[in-house]
C-alpha cells in the first residue's frame, strides 16, 4: 500500500486541536490508488490543550461509485506541525486517529470520488471531497 507524501496541517479551535492531511476548512483533494488495493487517503487526529484525546467523528456522506471507503482507528503521532502555538508539547505524542482507506473495485481504472464529514465536538462540521485516480 502506497502512502503519498502529504503535508499535515494542525488547526487550533479554542482549546481543541486536530490534524489532518486535509486542512481545517472544507476542501477538495486528489489522491491516487492502485486498482483493488486498499490505499491510504487521509488521517484525522484530535487532542485537547493538555494533549489528551479528543474524539473526531468522520462520516462518509457520499460513498465512492467504484469502490469503498473504510475509516479505521489507528495510533498515530501528533504531527511536528503541532509545534506551533500553545500545543507544542503535544507534537510527537501517540494519539488515536481516524484513518481513511479507499479500495476500488478489482480491475476498475479511472476516476472516483467520495465525500466525508468531520464532526468535532462544539464546532461546525467540515466537509472534505476526495477525487481518486485509480490506476
Give residue-wise pLDDT tens across range 41-62. 998 888 888 888 888 899 999 9
Q: What is the mean pLDDT of residues 66-84?
A: 85
Neighbouring residues of 29: CB distance < 8 A, sequence distance ≥ 6? 21, 22, 42, 128, 129, 130, 131
Q: What is the mean pLDDT of residues 70-75?
A: 93
Of residues 17 and 133, more confidently modeled? 133
pTM summary value: 0.77
Q: Give the pLDDT of residue 84.
A: 56
Give residue-wise pLDDT tens across range 80-104. 776 655 556 788 889 899 999 999 9
Q: What is the dihedral of CA 87, 92, 97, 103, to 10 degrees?
A: 130
Give backbone dihedrals phi and psi of 86, rounded to 5 degrees, phi first: -80, -5
Q: Does residue 108 register a pLDDT over 50?
A: yes
Q: Give the pLDDT of residue 7.
A: 31
- As a whole number of angstroms, the distance between CA 28 and CA 38 comes to 20
Give the start-to-end residue ranges of the domains of the chain: 9-134
pLDDT-derived band at 72, boundaries 50, 70, 90: very high
As a CATH number, domain 9-134 is 2.60.40
Q: What is the mean pLDDT of residues 27-37?
A: 94
- As a whole number of angstroms, the distance between CA 85 and CA 105 comes to 43
CA distances from 18 to 103, 108, 111, 122, 129 (A): 25, 34, 29, 13, 18
- Sheet of 27-33: strands edge to edge? 27-33, 126-134, 110-119, 57-62
Q: Give the pLDDT of residue 18.
A: 53
Amino acid at each position: 500500500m502506497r502512502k503519498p507524501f502529504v503535508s499535515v496541517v494542525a488547526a487550533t479551535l479554542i482549546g481543541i486541536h486536530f490534524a489532518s492531511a486535509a486542512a481545517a476548512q472544507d476542501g477538495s483533494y486528489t489522491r491516487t490508488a492502485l486498482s483493488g488495493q486498499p490505499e491510504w487517503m487521509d488521517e484525522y487526529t484530535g487532542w485537547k490543550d493538555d494533549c489528551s484525546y479528543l474524539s473526531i467523528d468522520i462520516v462518509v456522506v457520499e460513498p465512492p461509485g467504484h469502490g469503498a471507503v473504510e475509516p479505521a482507528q489507528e495510533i498515530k503521532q501528533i504531527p511536528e506541525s503541532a509545534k506551533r502555538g500553545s500545543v507544542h508539547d503535544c507534537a510527537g505524542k501517540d494519539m488515536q486517529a481516524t484513518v481513511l482507506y479507499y479500495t476500488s473495485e478489482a480491475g476498475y481504472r479511472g476516476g472516483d470520488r467520495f465525500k466525508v464529514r468531520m464532526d468535532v465536538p462544539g464546532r461546525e462540521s467540515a466537509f472534505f471531497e476526495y477525487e481518486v485516480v485509480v490506476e
